[in-house]
Structure 1
Amino acid sequence: MTQKRQIKLALYTIGSGMHVSSWRHPLANPKASIEIKELQKLSKIAEKAKFDLVFMPDSLAINHESHPQILNRFDPIVYITAIASVTEKIGVGATSSTTYSEPYVLARQFASVDHISEGRVGWNLVTTSDATGETALNFSREKHWDHDLRYERAEEFIDVVKGLWDSWEDDAFIYNKESGQFYNPNKVHEQHYKGKYFSVKGPLNIARSKQGQPVIIQAGASIPGQRLAARTAEVVFTHWDNIEESKRYYKKLKSQLRDFGRNEDELQILHGISPIIGETEEIAAQKYNELLSLIDPYEGLKFVSGYMGNVDFSKYSLNTPAKEVVFPEVNSIQSNFNEMKEIIDKEDLKVGDLYTRFFGAARKDGFVGTPTQVADEIEKWFVEKAADGFMIQFPLLSRDLEDFAKHVVPILQERDLFRVEYEGETLRDHLGLKKPENRFIREKTI
């Protein structure tokens, strides 16, 4: 019998919140991004609310335009290890780059935490977006690789990693004290991978985990990004401007799964939202406007700049029509840039409008309002197949998470749209994903 489709929820953790001025709010802890007890508290709230996943983003370079909450924060692998130690069920996901990492090291790190968490880890595969090119300078390179080259390398990278995760069959380790046999040598496999970018012998020096392999998460929406996602991803994080665009992307990406012999339920698409909850519409709007009042207009534009080719907005007055801004070609997140540029071309926006238009809590969606209004909007996106769930980037933490967990989650549960209890033990269980078969066993049977 087909399992009933239910909403998936992930908590996006970024210090005191996704809003660029969240740290200035009276309720905020400005040092939240480096206080592990604060981050562990958020994870426990999300676990109590039965979220599928706690997710930690990353960046490998910072500058004066960076979001304040990424200037001083933990390495994601360290973070998810600490989260796994104080939680029992919720998944833990972390970002790691295929452009600035080595497959063997990454495979070992994520497999290690997957064991520590007993099968609750997800790896967010990124090729690293970088509008300024500064990341390369932190890794002894003169320039950031071009977009399509990064994805070409990523295609090989993930194949190597997944092969290394299959180095050991599930029952390879025997631990027989009487016979002295620690493992069965016939059940360990060397990959001997040789490609354009990598040459990796293997095996990995850690066994397969309880869920077989960490869950693969991705966020690419460009053509190469969609191809990689359709071939390899199990969760995709998206962020479209409205429900109709999201529905088109959902249908397009799901249809590409067939090209790789996959079914639609093998990939969960999570849309990014930033809900603010109030007892009334007026209270929710007040919370939203309070955050807006904390923004220095040009500080907000610095954050926009990172997505728009590193434009120096300080040269423009806030009343300048955004159409008059000269935007360079970008070598970062092309899908974001293209969407934002299209909106600027269509709408009568001023430079001073850009942060709120693109990164405000609600954008054009109904995610600022009463618990019922927000639940209605979530249900609409889910039922109309604009998303399978949501990567929730709360503007102010922990306030907005607590409000959502206390007031919105129960409504979704009453409507039978979201779990009341965890049905399984691993992240794959939560997401309705099968444990992947070991490729070397599969090759034996062919």
Structure 2
Amino acid sequence: MIHLAAFLFTPSGMYDGWRHSAAQASADMDFDLIVDVTRAAERGKFDAIFFADTVAMVGNANPETMATGQSRQARLCYLEPASLITALAPMTSNIGLIATMTTTYNEPYHVARRMASIDHISKGRAGWNLVTSQIEEEAWNFGLEQHVAHADRYERAAEFSEVVKGLWDSWEEDAHVRDKATGQVFDPQKVHILGHKGPHFSVRGPLNVARPPQGHPIIAQAGSSEPGKELAARTADLVFTAQRTVEESRTFYQDLKGRMAMYGRDESSLHIMPGVVPIAAETDEEAQAILDEIESFMTVEQAIKAIQRHAGDLDLTKFDPEGPLPPLPPVNTARGRQQVLIDMAERDNLNLGQVARRFAASAGHRILVGSPKTIADSFEAWHMAGAADGFVLIFPFFPTPVYNFVDLVVPELQRRGLFRKEYESAILRENLGFERPANRFHRQSEPAPVAL
């Protein structure tokens, strides 16, 4: 079966999508609309929805953007994801709820406590999208003059994730006795101090939230650089990636799955889900008309400015748009995304203007336009080729493209036997087909009683 997750990147997953005539431009702050879209995704039996996050207003370093109020995208203000999925939990029943929280500008105890709480509130449907922060403006909100170095961010993230999982294991499932007659609250043999001391963190524990219903909430991760792939092989349950061809995706898939054995993990414990922007309609022609309207808003000059942050200190506006993409210096932001840009130009022999327009439209993700048959054919081909366990759907705007996918494409996938007709469970981990992780402390033969 194919797995599907909806990436609710409000107000638009394409930079100019929010300007489409059918788009709700205020979707970023419209909670009622987000509820409707989430319920539509649940009606479509999606595994999960998830929300991106940065802890800064992206683009506020650009004087032109600040002076004119114009940006290449409208996603500048939006609801904080952990708060949002907490609010969505009682309004849904089966769909997974995944929120992004950075390991660069957070502490492990905060994330472990927040995600464990949301897992309890949602009765086992919470997920944490682990990111290392790629936006340089974030540093300025946390007492730093410049962003933490790429290698240091990933080193910190690896330790961060291990601390979080250790804290989730603080309490065994039956640790709480709550015996009114004796006054005993918990079994001291079944609550554990983490006692972590490492290069980045010193965390005693235990967590002051009981073990999550899933054992560990699902961990999603999106890094495609070498450190990102190592982190994913070590820690992730879901990987959201960006490949535009089935050959590229299959190579990435085999590479990442092949790294898991060194961390004692089975390949089946990780789902790789490339991002795709689906534009679905009754016919291919109707779908193409939607894309044409969105693309009509973008000039080559705007597109080049949109990819500037992937070029570091190299000013792309000084190069001929009809000339080749110049050699790009390594950046301290999203190195995997920069490589997607470079690979796209080389593979398709695109000039600077062409690659800028193609990349900027969807941040390098594949745009899939057409009827239900066209889209289902592509999904089936990628899945059968061993290039994907499923797909992360990045909708061009909201809410119509979500409804179109649920009402048109999902039934076609179900008809082919490629997608579920009913949820297997009300637990996210079980819908994904993953086993519940063992408690690391429970595996010890003689656990020491906790001293609180």
Q: Normalising by structure 1, what TM-score?
A: 0.93
What pairs with 1:101-112 in structure 2 (closer than 5 Å)? 101-112=106-117
Give the residue type in structure 2 aligned to 1:24: R
Structure 1 residues 73 and 191: CA distance shift in structure 2, 3 A: same
Give the residue type in structure 2 aligned to 1:320: E
Mapped partners of 2:177, 2:46: distance in 1: 36
1:197 alignment counterpart: 200
1:129 alignment counterpart: 134
Deviation at residue 269 of structure 1 after TM alignment? 0.4
SS in 1 for 2:392: strand
1:213 alignment counterpart: 216
What pairs with 1:12-31 in structure 2 (closer than 5 Å)? 12-31=7-26
SS in 2 for 1:377: helix
2:378 alignment counterpart: 377
Deviation at residue 60 of structure 1 after TM alignment? 1.9
SS in 2 for 1:54: strand
2:388 alignment counterpart: 387
Contact 2:275 2:366 in 1 (8 A): no
Q: Which of the numbers 81, 96, 117 marks the counterpart of 1:91?
A: 96
Contact 2:15 2:362 in 1 (8 A): no
Mapped partners of 2:106, 2:284: distance in 1: 46
Mapped partners of 1:400, 1:271: distance in 2: 18
SS in 2 for 1:444: coil
1:250 and 2:253 correspond: yes
Deviation at residue 122 of structure 1 after TM alignment? 0.8
Mapped partners of 1:174, 1:288: distance in 2: 59
Deviation at residue 298 of structure 1 after TM alignment? 3.4
Mapped partners of 1:372, 1:302: distance in 2: 36
Mapped partners of 2:365, 2:33: distance in 1: 31
User: What's the CA shift string for 1:125-168, capped at 9, x where partnerless?
Assistant: 111113xx322111101221211111111111111110001111
Q: Which of the numbers 269, 276, 281 marks the counterpart of 1:278?
A: 281
Give the residue type in structure 1 aligned to 2:333: S
Deviation at residue 436 of structure 1 after TM alignment? 0.7
Mapped partners of 1:363, 1:253: distance in 2: 20
2:420 alignment counterpart: 419
SS in 1 for 2:178: strand
Deviation at residue 310 of structure 1 after TM alignment? 6.2
What pairs with 1:123-272 in structure 2 (closer than 5 Å)? 123-130=128-135, 133-272=136-275
Deviation at residue 365 of structure 1 after TM alignment? 5.8
User: What's the CA shift string for 1:314-363, capped at 9, x where partnerless?
Assistant: 4456x43143x463321112122123123334544343323432244697
1:32 alignment counterpart: 27
Q: Which of the numbers 30, 37, 40 marks the counterpart of 1:42?
A: 37
1:3 alignment counterpart: none
Contact 2:3 2:390 in 1 (8 A): yes
1:120 and 2:122 correspond: no
Mapped partners of 1:67, 1:206: distance in 2: 42
Deviation at residue 181 of structure 1 after TM alignment? 2.0
1:438 alignment counterpart: 439
2:68 alignment counterpart: none
Mapped partners of 1:421, 1:346: distance in 2: 40
SS in 1 for 2:182: coil
Structure 1 residues 391 and 177: CA distance shift in structure 2, 3 A: same
Deviation at residue 379 of structure 1 after TM alignment? 0.6
Give the residue type in structure 2 aligned to 1:333: A
Contact 1:366 1:373 in 2 (8 A): no
Mapped partners of 1:203, 1:367: distance in 2: 47
2:47 alignment counterpart: 52
SS in 1 for 2:39: helix
Mapped partners of 2:122, 2:26: distance in 1: 26
Q: Normalising by structure 2, what TM-score?
A: 0.92
Give the residue type in structure 2 aligned to 1:154: A
Contact 1:52 1:90 in 2 (8 A): yes
Deviation at residue 295 of structure 1 after TM alignment? 2.5
After superposition, the CA RMSD in angstroms is 2.0
Give the residue type in structure 2 aligned to 1:10: A
Mapped partners of 1:332, 1:310: distance in 2: 12
Mapped partners of 2:80, 2:34: distance in 1: 13
SS in 2 for 1:169: coil
Mapped partners of 1:354, 1:241: distance in 2: 13
SS in 2 for 1:11: strand
User: What's the CA shift string for 1:264-321, capped at 9, x where partnerless?
Assistant: 110000110001112222111111101111224433333322333265444456x431
Contact 1:16 1:398 in 2 (8 A): no
Contact 1:16 1:33 in 2 (8 A): yes
Mapped partners of 2:344, 2:18: distance in 1: 29
1:307 alignment counterpart: 310
Q: Larger deviation: 376-385 or 336-345?
A: 336-345
Contact 1:121 1:214 in 2 (8 A): yes
Give the residue type in structure 1 aligned to 2:255: K
Q: Larger deviation: 403-412 or 335-344?
A: 335-344
Q: Larger deviation: 15-24 or 359-368?
A: 359-368
Q: Larger deviation: 195-204 or 59-68?
A: 59-68
Mapped partners of 1:427, 1:311: distance in 2: 43
Contact 2:278 2:393 in 1 (8 A): yes
Contact 1:288 1:361 in 2 (8 A): no
What pairs with 1:325-344 in structure 2 (closer than 5 Å)? 325=326, 327-344=328-345
Q: What is the aligned residue count?
A: 437
Q: Larger deviation: 30-39 or 307-316?
A: 307-316
Structure 1 residues 303 and 277: CA distance shift in structure 2, 3 A: same
Give the residue type in structure 2 aligned to 1:81: T
Q: Larger deviation: 340-349 or 368-377?
A: 340-349
SS in 1 for 2:28: helix
